[in-house]
Structure 1
Amino acid sequence: MKRTTTHNEDKLAWVYLINLTFYLIPLFITDKPLWKIGLALSALVPFVFAYFWAYRSTKQQAYKPILAMIAIGVIVTPINTGSLSLFTFAGFFIGFFYPLSRALMCFLAMAAMLLTMSYSLEISYYFAIYGTGLIAGVGLFGVAERKRLEAKCKEQQSQDEISQLAAMLERERIARDLHDIMGHSLSSISLKAELAEKLLAKGNIAQAQTQLQELNSIARDSLSQVRETVSGYKHQGLQACVANLCQKLRDKGMSVSLVGEIPALSDDVETQVILSITELCNNLVRHSQASHCQLKFSANDNHYHISVEDDGVGADISEGNGLKGIRERLNKLGGSLHYHSQPNYQFTLCFPVQGAQ
């Protein structure tokens, strides 16, 4: 099993290092010579390297950074008993990567190691007792984290399977509808064309023209039915579109919040709004380094406002075809597009209430 990380989890990896505070405290509350403090602080460089190595390792390779962290802790212990915090990091990864039975055996081995160091280095036995409790507690937290990620992976797999099944059923429905619509029409067109050809061969021009006129009428009706059907496929509604976009953003590792009530719009207006919001969210996925996105829906007496805002680092915006296309769509509705990039990106669609429903 590999610990796959999102943008948010990479940030949390740094946050978890705050626990190294317990490693630093003994260095400054006891009277230690500067050379010991310097050695203890320099040991953090390879430890942090081993920590991120473990954070991105597979189950098969995780033992290497775990052993490296334990080795650093053993070497540092004679200088700084705050090394217990280093052992707890190793305990977390042991719990995360290995089955509970094997993890418990490793915890017992680390407890024996701490007890041996307490005896050989003449450190208080509280070092071993307290350290064993910390390693076991943090290690069990690693087990819980593994269970959480396994459940998340299964849930994602189930969602993917449901999406694939839904897509398959939709394709079957489209094929069935097109067959029902076009089967009879194409048969009629073929029959009319064949009949007109025979009438022309016999010189019955008037009757042949009648058949061709009927053929033209059938073809036009068929084209209209196909357009209506395809339009129905394209137009899923604003509610469904927002739900799909939110899921797409979450799949990219962002958290998403919805604020306000999604308005009920006419089909024409709703189509333009859907295309505009989709373009903004696609831009966010392609270009933003954000970890959170907010979609906000609001209205006053005269206008609807739909905002897409993220917490990415703001930079100058250069309007491309996407933003120009949004402006053109909103202009047709009598609306406008507003945006800014400081301190964060925010794009707001504004269009009149009148004529939108």
Structure 2
Amino acid sequence: MSQDSINSTCKSEDKFAWVYLINLVFYFIPYFIIDMPVWQIGLSLAALVPFIYCYFWAYRSTSSRAHLPILAMIAIAIIATPINTGSLSLFTFAGFFIGFFYPLRKAMLCILALITTLFLLNQGLNFDHYYWVIYGAALVIGVSLFGVVERTRIENKHKQQKSQQEIRQLATMLERERIARDLHDIMGHSLSSISLKAELAEKLLAKNNIEQAQLQLSELNSIARDSLSQIRQTVSGYKHKGLTASVTNLCQTLRDKGLNVELDGDIPTLNNDLETQVILSLTELCNNVIRHSQAQECRLSFSQNEHGTIVQVTDNGQPKSIEQGNGLKGIQERLQQFKGSLTWDLNQHCQFTITLPQQ
């Protein structure tokens, strides 16, 4: 993962940058245990101004340029050490950013160089003991490990955000494909029929066959009304108005076309996504009954067994075979998403069976 991506995620947490400055409390400890003159206190406080600037510079930097604010913080800490031995806290900030910005091997070498700097300062300033350098080395190593942990946390957070974004994009693509398939299934046949009827009416009018042209235009109007009804039913399905309401509307549509309709069983409660797909599937099957079956009776039945929910659409039409067009393929694709299936039987009546697994 690129460092720019990490920095982008890190910048979104800039509000926490001030919180981490609480570690500067250790910088002020010598003020209370050593009798320091006012000028010395003033100089050590003045050193904090450029240090805090470098701290935020590093916080918003990239790995390719992080060495600049880190070196600046180390330089300020070195200059402040003769004035205030609490400068160890300044070195720890540099250790944190080293652990955060650099790979482990490079970070270890940098931390070793930083500890060597502490040792040389201890020797150069003639401290009476090695407590300062030992304590400082332990702090720098510990805080640098916090930098590594923070880097890992930011990386994981960025990966999670990227994964969620990819999931949203995939869901959007699938939704677009589903809507395109639904529109094709619902409107493809109707629009083809409208085009053919309009073309035929135009030819009949050209031959001055007014009566036949009016008949074709009347059928065209009927197809357009049916298409509008299908679109409304589909929109109702998208809005999750419920399977019960949709089945009731389908039954009424079948009756309006002159079929005797029977509804058996209790309509199940399904989750919204599956419910929408069942509504669209039943809409397609009922439209096929109206367009192709030449039936006088139709029965919709709902039942439960050990395998799940069974939905059947049966009519008394007598087709010799079923041509599996885009409509039936679309239903199978919808149901497969939920481990469901569509089968049909032409032995006695034309019967389509939707099988839904247990939820």
Q: State how far apart, in whole Å, the 1-side matches of 2:9 and 2:44 are.
A: 30
Q: Secondary structure at the match of 1:78?
A: coil
| Partner residue, 2:190 | 185
Indicate yes or no: 2:68 matched with 1:71: no
Specify which of 94, 100, 120 is matched with residue 116 of structure 1. 120
Q: State how far apart, in whole Å, the 2-side matches of 1:217 and 1:188 are.
A: 11
Report the number of matched residues.
239
Contact kept? 1:69, 1:86, Cα under 8 Å: yes
| Partner residue, 2:302 | none
Q: Aligned ranges for residues 202-281 of structure 1 at < 5 Å?
A: 202-233=207-238
Indicate yes or no: 2:167 matched with 1:162: yes
| Partner residue, 1:86 | 90
Deviation at 1:213, TM superposition (A): 1.7
Deviations 1:186-206 (Å, cap 9, x if unpaired)? 111112222222333344433
Specify which of 40, 46, 49 is matched with residue 42 of structure 1. 46
Contact kept? 1:4, 1:56, Cα under 8 Å: no
Q: Residue 169 and residue 63 in structure 1: after superposition, are their counterparts in 2 closer, same or farther (change >3 A)? A: same
| Partner residue, 1:125 | 130
| Partner residue, 1:142 | 147
Contact kept? 1:50, 1:68, Cα under 8 Å: yes
Indicate yes or no: 2:25 matched with 1:28: no
Using the TM superposition, name which of 167-176 and 58-67 deviates more: 167-176
Deviations 1:22-55 (Å, cap 9, x if unpaired)? 1012123321000000000010000000000000
Give the TM-score normalised by structure 1.
0.63
Q: State how far apart, in whole Å, the 2-side matches of 1:30 and 1:77 are.
A: 14
Q: State how far apart, in whole Å, the 1-side matches of 2:74 and 2:239 are.
A: 58
Q: Secondary structure at the match of 1:222?
A: helix
Give the TM-score normalised by structure 2.
0.62
Contact kept? 1:192, 1:211, Cα under 8 Å: yes
| Partner residue, 2:158 | 153
Deviation at 1:229, TM superposition (A): 2.8
Structure 1 alignment gaps of length 5 or more: 238-266, 268-357
Using the TM superposition, name which of 155-164 and 196-205 deviates more: 196-205
Q: State how far apart, in whole Å, the 1-side matches of 2:209 and 2:8 are.
A: 76
Contact kept? 2:58, 2:97, Cα under 8 Å: yes
Q: Residue 64 and residue 182 in structure 1: after superposition, are their counterparts in 2 closer, same or farther (change >3 A)? A: same
| Partner residue, 1:271 | none
Q: Residue 61 and residue 234 in structure 1: after superposition, are their counterparts in 2 closer, same or farther (change >3 A)? A: farther
Q: State how far apart, in whole Å, the 2-side matches of 1:201 and 1:73 are.
A: 97
Q: State how far apart, in whole Å, the 2-side matches of 1:183 and 1:5 are.
A: 47
Specify which of 22, 27, 43 is matched with residue 18 of structure 1. 22
| Partner residue, 1:322 | none
Deviation at 1:74, TM superposition (A): 0.3
Deviations 1:219-243 (Å, cap 9, x if unpaired)? 1221232243345446699xxxxxx
Indicate yes or no: 2:202 matched with 1:197: yes
Q: Secondary structure at the match of 2:83?
A: coil
Which amino acid counterpart does residue 59 of structure 2 have in structure 1? Answer: Y
Deviation at 1:7, TM superposition (A): 7.5
Q: Secondary structure at the match of 2:63?
A: coil
| Partner residue, 2:177 | 172
Using the TM superposition, name which of 31-40 and 204-213 deviates more: 204-213
Root-mean-square deviation over aligned CA pairs: 2.3
Which amino acid counterpart does residue 21 of structure 1 have in structure 2? Answer: V
Q: State how far apart, in whole Å, the 2-side matches of 1:30 and 1:16 are.
A: 26
Deviation at 1:171, TM superposition (A): 1.7
Q: State how far apart, in whole Å, the 2-side matches of 1:8 and 1:172 are.
A: 34
Q: Residue 171 and residue 211 in structure 1: after superposition, are their counterparts in 2 closer, same or farther (change >3 A)? A: same
Q: State how far apart, in whole Å, the 1-side matches of 2:149 and 2:40 are.
A: 37
Structure 2 alignment gaps of length 5 or more: 243-271, 273-359
Contact kept? 2:57, 2:69, Cα under 8 Å: yes
Q: State how far apart, in whole Å, the 2-side matches of 1:6 and 1:117 are.
A: 33
Larger radius of gyration between Structure 1 and Structure 2 = 2
